[in-house]
Amino acid sequence: MNRNKNLLLLSSLGVLALLVAAAVQENILKSWRRIQGAARGEAGPVDVRLRQIVVPGLKAADRCVSCHVGMAPGETGIAGPSVVAAHPPVAHDPGEYGCTACHGGQGRATEEADAHGAAPFWPEPMLEARHAYAGCGTCHTHVRVPNEMALERGQRVFERLDCLACHKLDGRGGTLRPGGAGGMEGPDLSRVGAAGAAVDWYEEHLRKAREGADATWKTCFGPTEEDARRDLDVYLASRVGAPGLVEAKALFHTLGCRGCHKVNGVGGDDGPDLTRAGARDPGRTDFTHVPGAPTLANWQAEHLRDPAKIVPGSLMPALGLTEEQVDGLTFYLLSLRKSGFPEAYWPKDRILAERFGEREFAADGATLYGTFCAACHGAQGQGMRYPGMSVAPAVANADFLAVAADEFIAGTVERGRPGRRMPAWGEKEGGLRPQEVRAVVEHLRALGGVAAAEADTEPPHWAEGDAEAGARLYGAYCAGCHGAAGEGADGPALKNRVLLSTATDTYLAQTIARGRRGTSMPGFGNASTVHPALSAEDTEALVRFIRKWENAP
């Protein structure tokens, strides 16, 4: 009897104690209560309650503002610990888009670890502050991004002309005010690429400098050469309010990453599609070989440094990137987090890219080469060979450009080399358009400094000669590099259907006779220490022999 009473008494007291503990935990210990308790508004302490931004269109209920009180729409003059500070001015009103659309993280959470996404089972952790602008990639697809060199040229012009004297850019500059004290400073150029600059800005500036009332206008602007203005326009068009992101994207389109990887449907197929490389779930990513914190940024950076170390068996070669390049590419990869937001929320650039086929990269040959070719053929077209992979020829070699007609080069780009790494860029999905191929050819000619191939009046097939003799010669001088059956080794494969159907006999003979200076292909027209000079007949015989492979299976 008393045992039951004791049971009841003790369990009841226990229940009461636990309920009190739960109540304390819920009503006193929550960190957002502490933070709001320390915050002061314009009219005294702020009212301590859960706060949120609801965006029905994005299905978002972001409670970040429960702690970051000052970032809530309509809150002004909140003072207190740094966490309650106001949001820095940005293009998008947090009240309209919420927080997680740009920053990631778990908007519904009200505890720091959960909200910032560090907790397990939240696939989208918050972007670190240094990568905050990668969040733009959730909706935006910056189009017509030039390559790194073009951006740098533009930036040099921008600095040379001292535009920052009057204009602000990403919070810098704008110290010199035209019109003296109280006059207007120049417009902020941080987002000029998105808003668009006046077409006649140069003429306007010149006119004002000529007619300017005060000395500042007269001294701060003068005539500028046209080339510099073009570079400057490219640079200004890339100022869209995402500092560093466009530079990172330019880097991606300079190092030739799309040669192997597709992004938004454009690029090669050798590597994984990177369209959502920045939205990977860290919970489903292997961090076994990643030193440091298990964050996606860290994974991407380490993977760029040494792919095979992070993903054992990966085919991606170590690219020998500088730390700066690793940082830039990591930044860009993190921005690849395209969301499924309703189309009503799509910005202009994304609509242009996805509905009107606008390219994400600029249409000039240099950028196109940097986008698709540079990873294998080298930034200067000097050719490359990654360990364990076949050689990628030096496509800007002057000897090559002198014997290769534009049609041959364009045909090679378009039809590729079946069976080898070189894809058929003109035929494959996500490849190059005809005018882009032409631009690439032009760029190669510019790189090699050979304006056009030597004129060739011969028919495509003219070589006659003894194929048997050619076979002997091939075995003696060619097989070492090109393989006994022309399958390629240190040198490129010759037994290739597309190569032999696009190459003329002149091309083959000239290549054998001249070689490719600066590569391991010697010119057999002249004798060297390891081979005698081949006569024209020998060359012809070799061409005949090589031709036999054209129709071989």
Q: Where are the alpha helices (DSSP H) in 416-534?
A: 434-448, 467-473, 479-482, 497-502, 505-514
Degrees, nearest 5: CA angle 124-127-133: 125
Tokens of 161: 């002309």
- Among 37, 38, 67, 121, the residue binding other proteins under the rule CB under 8 A is 121
29 binds other proteins per the rule CB under 8 A: no
CB of 492 to other proteins, least distance (A): 37
Three-state SS for 205? helix
CB of 115 to other proteins, least distance (A): 9
Where in 16-160 does DSSP place strands (E)?
A: 40-41, 44-45, 53-55, 60-62
- Among 33, 35, 51, 478, the residue binding other proteins under the rule CB under 8 A is 51
Three-state SS for 491? coil
Between CA 327 and CA 114 the distance in angstroms is 27
Between CA 409 and CA 398 the distance in angstroms is 13
Segment 264 to 293, residues that bind other proteins, using CB under 8 A: 281, 283-284, 286-288
50 binds other proteins per the rule CB under 8 A: yes
Between CA 157 and CA 63 the distance in angstroms is 45
Between CA 231 and CA 92 the distance in angstroms is 29
Burial of 343 (0-12, 13-18, 19+ CB in 10 A): exposed
Between CA 393 and CA 372 the distance in angstroms is 15
484 binds other proteins per the rule CB under 8 A: no
- Among 39, 53, 250, 255, the residue binding other proteins under the rule CB under 8 A is 53
- Each residue 56-95 as x (binds other proteins by CB under 8 A) or -, in order, gives x--x-x-x---------xx------------------x-x
19 binds other proteins per the rule CB under 8 A: yes
CB of 61 to other proteins, least distance (A): 7
12 binds other proteins per the rule CB under 8 A: yes
CB of 312 to other proteins, least distance (A): 11
- Among 111, 270, 306, 487, the residue binding other proteins under the rule CB under 8 A is 111
Segment interacting with other proteins (CB under 8 A) among 120-128, 192-200, 294-302, 448-456: 120-128
Tokens of 362: 């600029």
Q: Determine the distance from the C-alpha atom of residue 44 to the mean position of all C-alpha atoms in its chain, rounded to a whole number.
A: 48
Phi, psi of 297 (to 5 degrees): -60, -45
CB of 256 to other proteins, least distance (A): 29
CB of 73 to other proteins, least distance (A): 6
Contact footprint for other proteins (CB under 8 A) = 1-9, 11-16, 18-23, 25-26, 49-56, 59, 61, 63, 73-74, 93, 95-96, 106, 108-111, 114, 121-123, 281, 283-284, 286-288
